[in-house]
């Protein structure tokens, strides 16, 4: 880092504060897109427009660097298309003859702003001032080396964006495909989607959940549970497991932090001894159990992986063991997470409000679609194929983000020198 020098940011980087456009000229229909703090946070095309006059000075284009001046101090390379800069959003760019490269500064600020946010005092919303940016002291190598560093980090950011786009694409395909599969199913002879009800009504029959393919059943969840001890369980409660009985290592006690939508996170924070596990064995989870969160973020569901080993459920979860000859656990999980019939049932049971817990009877009486076994297997095969595409890209995304973190640490500090 010996070749790094100190630069006062405001001497090399121009800061343009957004204009306080009159709200009387705002529209939700037409005009020029108005870039507000919420748009910076989402980095998406604004949904509010400005219909009045404005100076070209406040025009923003893709790849401009913007900073939200309130809240979490987000910094983005703008991707939402042309718009005008509203108040409390800052645009930064190089001054003539600047010795700082704007891409280098972008990544430097991406590291600096969260640290500044952490030490900024606030009673309600935190506020960033232009002075905070202008007086910041940047340690940087020569501008040529800065440009190389910026290009390296920009390249990995582009890879991250491309990978995320693939994940979003496959996720959207999966959602559309599963909606079709759970309304039309797969014709056993053609191995393709059946014609819709409108196209071939003779292939469908009336059920409590609408018109479904003939041979499909609608069965309440409790009648699909397996014939095992406590196939549906939540707990332990109260004195059955005291906080002081938890240990630093042992058999995992699962919680809502392990259960996500169609994803089990095998990162454990709470453990019990083998002896305690044996005492509470009625709460043990089994391979391919379906688990749903009933506290905190209510209604997230996933399937327990076959690699789980020994683990206990907790009072914040409902854990269910299904009869796999009747229904595949993964198809139960999808319906709990995504189906309109499960969503409407839960909303009805919570009287239309925000559900803050799920009662046992609510789950037990939930009606689920049950295709014939052969169709279930065909549906699951397609579901799993797309899931594999998503998981491969999610793994790649995680690696790219770790690589970016390491590169920022190495390159922005001079730990790894970059020749000019």
**Angle CA 78–406–257, to nearest 5:** 80
> CA-to-CA distance for 179 and 226, rounded, in angstroms?
26
Cis peptide leading into 236, omega within 30 of 0?
yes
pLDDT at 74: 96
Neighbour-count burial for 46-64, b at 16+ CB within 10 Å, e otherwise: bebbbbeebeeebebeeeb
Torsion of CA 328, 317, 360, 227, to 10 degrees: 40
Q: Say what the pTM is.
A: 0.84
DSSP conformational letter for 86: B
Check residues 354 and 162 and name the one with the higher pLDDT: 162
Residues contacting 202, CB < 8 A, separation 6+: none
Average pLDDT over residues 361-385: 96
In order of 314, 340, 367, the CA distances from 302 in angstroms are 15, 17, 18
Query: pLDDT at residue 16 above 70?
Result: yes
List, by residue range, all CATH 3.90.220.20 domains of the chain. Answer: 5-140, 217-370
pLDDT at 420: 74
pLDDT tens across 330-362, in order? 999 999 999 999 999 998 887 655 567 899 999
pLDDT at 124: 79
> Which residue, 202, 217, 9, 203, is CA-closest to 94?
9
pLDDT at 341: 96
pLDDT at 393: 98
Q: CATH top-level class for 5-140?
A: alpha beta
Average pLDDT over residues 311-327: 97
pLDDT at 129: 95
Of the ranges 96-105, 154-163, 292-301, which one carries the lowest mean pLDDT score? Answer: 292-301
pLDDT at 354: 59
pLDDT at 1: 59
Computed over every residue of the chain, the mean pLDDT equals: 95
Average pLDDT over residues 295-314: 94
Query: pLDDT at residue 395 above 70?
Result: yes
Q: How many CA atoms lie within 13 A of 383 on its CB side?
A: 23
pLDDT tens across 77-114, in order? 999 999 999 999 999 999 999 999 999 999 999 999 99
Average pLDDT over residues 139-146: 97
pLDDT tens across 170-217, in order? 999 999 999 999 999 999 889 999 999 999 999 999 999 999 999 999
pLDDT at 88: 97
pLDDT at 356: 72
Please determine, looking at this structure, whether the domain spanning 217-370 carries the CATH number 3.90.220.20: yes
> Which residue, 91, 92, 85, is CA-closest to 35?
85
As a whole number of Å, the end-to-end CA separation of the chain is 14
Average pLDDT over residues 237-264: 95
Average pLDDT over residues 15-37: 97
Query: pLDDT at residue 383 above 80?
Result: yes
């Amino acid at each position: 880092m010996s070749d790094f020098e100190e630069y006062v940011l405001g001497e090399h980087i121009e800061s343009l504060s957004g204009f306080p456009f009159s709200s009387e000229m705002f529209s939700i229909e037409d005009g020029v897109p108005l870039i507000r703090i919420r748009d910076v946070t989402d980095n998406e095309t604004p949904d509010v427009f400005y219909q009045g006059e404005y100076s070209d000075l406040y025009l923003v284009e893709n790849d401009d660097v913007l900073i939200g001046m309130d809240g979490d101090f987000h910094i983005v390379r703008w991707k939402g298309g042309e718009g005008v800069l509203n108040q409390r959003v800052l645009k930064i760019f190089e001054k003539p003859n600047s010795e700082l490269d704007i891409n280098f500064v972008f990544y430097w600020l991406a590291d600096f702003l969260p640290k500044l946010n952490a030490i900024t005092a606030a009673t309600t919303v935190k506020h960033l001032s232009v002075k905070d940016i202008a007086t910041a002291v940047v340690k940087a190598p020569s501008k040529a080396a800065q440009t190389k560093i910026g290009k390296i980090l920009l390249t990995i950011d582009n890879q991250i964006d491309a990978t995320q786009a693939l994940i979003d694409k496959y996720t959207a395909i999966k959602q559309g495909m599963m909606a079709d599969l759970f309304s039309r199913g797969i014709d056993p002879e053609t191995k393709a989607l059946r014609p819709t009800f409108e196209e071939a009504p003779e292939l469908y029959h009336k059920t409590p959940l609408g018109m479904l393919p003939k041979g499909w059943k609608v069965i309440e969840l409790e009648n699909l549970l397996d014939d095992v001890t406590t196939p549906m369980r939540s707990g332990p409660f109260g004195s059955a497991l005291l906080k002081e009985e938890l240990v630093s290592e042992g058999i995992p006690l699962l919680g809502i932090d392990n259960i996500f939508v169609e994803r089990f996170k095998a990162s454990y924070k709470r453990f019990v001894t083998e002896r305690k596990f044996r005492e509470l064995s009625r709460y043990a989870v089994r391979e391919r159990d379906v688990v749903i969160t009933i506290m905190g973020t209510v209604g997230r569901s996933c399937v327990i992986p076959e690699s789980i080993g020994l683990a206990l459920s907790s009072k914040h979860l409902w854990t269910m063991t299904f009869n796999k000859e009747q229904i595949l656990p993964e198809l139960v999980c999808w319906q709990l997470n995504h189906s309109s019939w499960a969503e409407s049932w839960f909303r009805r049971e919570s009287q239309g409000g925000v559900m803050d817990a799920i009662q046992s009877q609510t789950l037990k009486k939930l009606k689920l679609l049950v295709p014939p076994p052969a169709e279930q297997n065909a549906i699951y095969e397609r579901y799993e194929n797309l899931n594999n595409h998503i998981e491969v890209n999610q793994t790649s995304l995680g690696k790219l983000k770790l690589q970016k973190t390491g590169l920022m640490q190495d390159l922005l500090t001079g730990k790894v020198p970059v020749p000019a």
